[in-house]
């Protein structure tokens, strides 16, 4: 009897550490109606990510739910350039199926924060996009960015972009390629 109890305890302890956790899973590309399923994860953490960007007349909103990627947990990226805008938000939680949040785009604080940055966007070049224009940065976007890269936006043909504007600290730390629907093919220059 003693050994059976010991065995059962061992089995349940193993089950707790070995059997995978479940998380809610979905990937909505430019849509808010997501087909949710369940997925098994190795860790015990789940993640929700939402993203918005606008580039020269094109808008894109997406949501992701699934296993946590610890390098992306709790980011809150935000950036603005001339004719371009970007928000990225992730949240991780612990426990089975804990990522049951509603789909919500990140909100940004529109209050000017006193920082001013050059404000430009040049399409079709990786050269510096020079400008005399300035923008009053808002909310968490307290530093200036100069970014030049070849981007593939939602499967369209690769295009070179070069621009300046305001970003927050998480955007500089996490790079712009941790994205859904926007792929950085080649990084020409990044300075925050």
Calculate the alpha carbon distances from 106 to 11, 26, 67 in Å: 43, 18, 20
Rounded Cα gap, residues 176 and 53, in angstroms: 11
DSSP 130-167: --S-EEEEETT--EEEEEEEEEEETT---EEEEEEEEE
Binding flag, residue 30, ligand NAG (CB under 6 A): yes
Minimum distance from CB of 97 to ligand NAG (Å)? 20
Kindly tell me which of 30 and 94 has the beta carbon lying closer to ligand NAG. 30
Binding flag, residue 20, ligand NAG (CB under 6 A): no
CA angle 111, 117, 118 (to 5 degrees): 135
Restricted to residues 37-66, the positions that interact with ligand NAG (CB under 6 A) are 58-60
Binding flag, residue 126, ligand NAG (CB under 6 A): yes
Instruction: Number of residues interacting with ligand NAG: please give it, by CB under 6 A.
Output: 18
When binding is defined by CB under 6 A, the residue of 26, 154, 183, 190 that contacts ligand NAG is 154
Would you call 179 helix, strand, or coil by DSSP?
coil
Binding flag, residue 109, ligand NAG (CB under 6 A): no
Contact positions toward ligand NAG, by CB under 6 A?
A: 30, 58-60, 69, 71-72, 126, 135-136, 140, 150, 154, 158-160, 169, 178
């Amino acid at each position: 009897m003693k050994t059976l109890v010991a065995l059962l305890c061992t089995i349940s302890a193993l089950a707790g550490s070995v059997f995978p956790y479940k998380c809610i899973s979905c990937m909505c590309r430019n849509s808010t109606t997501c087909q949710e399923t369940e997925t098994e994860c190795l860790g015990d953490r789940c993640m929700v990510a939402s993203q918005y960007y606008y580039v020269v007349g094109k808008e894109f909103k997406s949501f992701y739910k699934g296993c946590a990627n610890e390098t992306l947990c709790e980011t809150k990226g935000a950036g603005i350039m001339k004719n371009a805008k970007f928000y990225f938000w992730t949240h991780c939680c612990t426990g089975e199926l804990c990522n049951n949040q509603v789909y919500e785009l990140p909100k940004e604080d529109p209050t000017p924060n006193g920082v001013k940055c050059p404000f430009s966007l040049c399409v079709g070049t990786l050269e510096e996009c020079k400008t005399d224009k300035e923008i009053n940065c808002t909310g968490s976007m307290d530093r200036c960015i100069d970014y030049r890269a070849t981007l593939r936006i939602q499967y369209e043909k690769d295009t070179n972009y070069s621009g300046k504007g305001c970003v927050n600290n998480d955007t500089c730390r996490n790079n712009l390629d941790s994205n859904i629907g926007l792929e950085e093919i080649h990084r020409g220059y990044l300075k925050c």
